[in-house]
C-alpha cells in the first residue's frame, strides 16, 4: 500500500472528517435504542411485579400451555406465586395471586385483616381456583351429590399442608369448571435460599401419603411427573397408607363404601357430609 493511500485513510478518520461524524451519529442512535429498550423492559418487569390476576379467567391465554401435537400433553406454561386462602376439596383450592413486588404486602395484609380479601371481594371474584394436576382425591359431599370414602381425610390433609401457605404454580390448562390445572410446589422454608429451590410437589406428596390416586380419566395432565406419580401410588398401596389402609378400600369411587360393615351406608354418608361441612366452616 502506498504511503499516500494510508495518509488518505487517516485523514478520512480525523476529528473533522465525514466518516467520524457519521460514526458518532450512529453511536448516538445505538445508545438511544438501547436506553429505550432497557426502559421498556423495566416497565414490563415492574408491571408484572405489581399486576395481580384476580381469577383463573383473568389469566392471559399465553400463560397456559399448548398441547403437544402427538402426545396431547401440554408443556409447562407460565409460573405464578400465590397464597392459599381456601381449600374446597381434596384436590382443589383457591389462591390469592401474589406478584413478586407485592408478595410480602399481600401476605402481611391477609394476616392482619384475619383473611379479608382485596376490596372486600368474594372467593369467586378475587381468587384463582386451582385443580391439582395428575391426581384425583376422594370428594366430600357437595352440590347434592354424596361424598366419597376418605373425602374428609383427604381434604383435611390438604388443609394442613396448604392453607395460609405460599405456593408456586406451573400452569397447564383450564378445565370445564373454570379451574386452572397446575402442578403446585411448596417452597422450602430455608432463609434466603428457599426461593431459589423448586420445593415439594403437592400432587406427589398427596399420592405418597395415600390420600389421592393417579388420575386416569380423559384429558389427564401429568406434565413430566406421570412415572413418579404412578410409582408413588404403588408404594402407598403396598404400605397401606391413607385411604389404602383398609384391604377393602382399594377404590374410593363408590359413595356407598364410605364406611364398610360396621355402620350402615346411610349413616356413613351423613357422617362424612357433616365432617366436610365442619372443615369448611373452621
> How distant, in Å, are the alpha carbons of 12, 21, 149 from that of 154?
80, 74, 9
Q: Is 253 a catalytic residue?
A: no
pTM across the whole model = 0.75
> 139, 153, 170, 205: which is the annotated catalytic residue?
139
Question: Are 182 and 81 contained in the same domain?
Answer: yes
Number of domain units in the chain: 2
The answer to whether residue 188 sits within a structural domain is yes
Question: Are 139 and 47 contained in the same domain?
Answer: no
275 alpha carbon, distance to own chain's centre:
27
The answer to whether residue 257 sits within a structural domain is yes
The answer to whether residue 210 sits within a structural domain is yes
Q: Each residue of 236-246: pLDDT tens digit?
A: 999 999 999 97
Q: How far apart are CA 269 and CA 134, in angstroms?
A: 27
pLDDT winner (highest mean) among 13-22, 135-144, 147-156, 208-217:
208-217
Per-residue pLDDT, averaged over 36-61, amounts to 77
SS3 percent helix, strand, coil of the chain, rounded to 5, is 45, 15, 40
Q: Are 260 and 246 in contact (CB under 8 A)?
A: yes
The set of cell numbers assigned to 202 is 403437592
Q: What is the pLDDT of residue 273?
A: 45
Q: Are 215 and 230 in contact (CB under 8 A)?
A: no
Please state which of the ranges 44-53, 86-95, 137-146 shows the lowest mean pLDDT. Answer: 44-53
Question: Are 95 and 39 contained in the same domain?
Answer: no
Q: Each residue of 250-269: pLDDT tens digit?
A: 555 554 444 333 333 334 43
Q: Are 237 and 245 in contact (CB under 8 A)?
A: no
Question: Are 33 and 108 contained in the same domain?
Answer: no
Q: Each residue of 69-100: pLDDT tens digit?
A: 555 666 667 899 999 999 999 999 999 999 98
CATH number at residue 270: 2.40.50.90
The CA-CA-CA angle for residues 91, 132, 96, to 5°, reads 95
Question: Are 228 and 151 contained in the same domain?
Answer: yes
Question: Are 144 and 67 contained in the same domain?
Answer: yes
Q: Are 161 and 153 in contact (CB under 8 A)?
A: no
> 131, 149, 186, 208: which is the annotated catalytic residue?
131
The set of cell numbers assigned to 109 is 395484609
Direct distance between the N- and C-terminal alpha carbons of the chain, in angstroms, rounded to an integer:
91
Q: Are 55 and 96 in contact (CB under 8 A)?
A: no
Question: Are 247 and 124 contained in the same domain?
Answer: yes
Question: Are 61 and 39 contained in the same domain?
Answer: no
> 149, 179, 186, 208: which is the annotated catalytic residue?
179
Question: Are 174 and 262 contained in the same domain?
Answer: yes
Radius of gyration of the chain (CA): 28
Per-residue pLDDT, averaged over 25-34, amounts to 77
Closest CA to 63 of 99, 101, 36, 88: 99
- Supply φ then ψ for residue 49, to 5 degrees: -75, -20
Tell me which residue range forms the domain holding 36.
23-51
Question: Are 125 and 154 contained in the same domain?
Answer: yes
Q: How far apart are CA 153 and CA 234, in angstroms?
A: 20
Q: Is 79 a catalytic residue?
A: no
Q: Is 139 a catalytic residue?
A: yes
Amino acid at each position: 500500500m502506498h504511503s499516500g493511500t494510508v495518509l488518505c485513510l487517516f485523514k478520512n478518520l480525523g476529528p473533522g472528517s465525514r466518516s467520524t461524524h457519521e460514526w458518532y451519529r450512529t453511536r448516538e442512535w445505538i445508545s438511544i435504542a438501547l436506553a429505550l429498550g432497557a426502559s421498556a423492559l423495566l416497565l414490563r418487569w415492574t408491571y408484572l411485579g405489581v399486576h395481580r390476576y384476580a381469577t383463573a379467567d383473568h389469566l392471559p391465554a399465553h400463560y397456559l400451555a399448548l398441547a403437544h401435537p402427538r402426545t396431547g400433553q401440554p408443556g409447562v406454561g407460565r409460573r405464578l406465586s400465590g397464597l392459599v386462602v381456601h381449600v374446597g376439596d381434596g384436590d382443589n383450592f383457591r389462591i390469592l395471586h401474589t406478584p413478586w413486588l407485592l408478595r410480602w404486602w399481600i401476605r402481611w395484609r391477609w394476616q392482619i385483616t384475619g383473611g379479608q380479601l382485596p376490596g372486600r371481594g368474594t372467593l369467586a371474584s378475587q381468587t384463582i381456583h386451582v385443580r391439582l394436576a395428575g391426581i384425583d382425591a376422594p370428594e366430600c359431599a357437595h352440590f347434592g351429590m354424596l361424598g366419597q370414602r376418605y373425602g374428609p381425610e383427604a381434604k383435611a390433609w390438604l388443609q394442613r399442608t396448604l392453607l395460609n401457605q405460599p405456593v408456586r404454580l406451573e400452569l397447564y390448562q383450564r378445565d370445564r369448571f373454570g379451574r386452572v390445572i397446575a402442578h403446585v410446589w411448596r417452597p422450602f422454608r430455608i432463609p434466603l435460599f428457599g426461593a431459589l429451590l423448586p420445593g415439594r410437589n403437592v400432587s406427589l406428596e398427596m399420592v405418597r401419603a395415600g390420600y389421592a390416586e393417579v388420575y386416569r380419566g380423559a384429558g389427564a395432565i401429568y406434565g413430566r411427573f406421570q412415572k413418579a406419580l404412578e410409582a408413588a401410588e404403588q408404594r402407598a398401596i403396598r404400605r397401606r397408607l391413607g385411604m389404602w389402609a383398609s384391604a377393602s378400600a382399594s377404590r374410593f369411587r363408590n359413595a356407598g363404601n364410605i364406611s364398610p360393615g360396621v355402620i350402615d351406608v346411610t349413616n356413613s354418608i351423613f357422617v362424612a357430609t357433616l365432617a366436610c361441612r365442619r372443615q369448611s366452616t373452621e
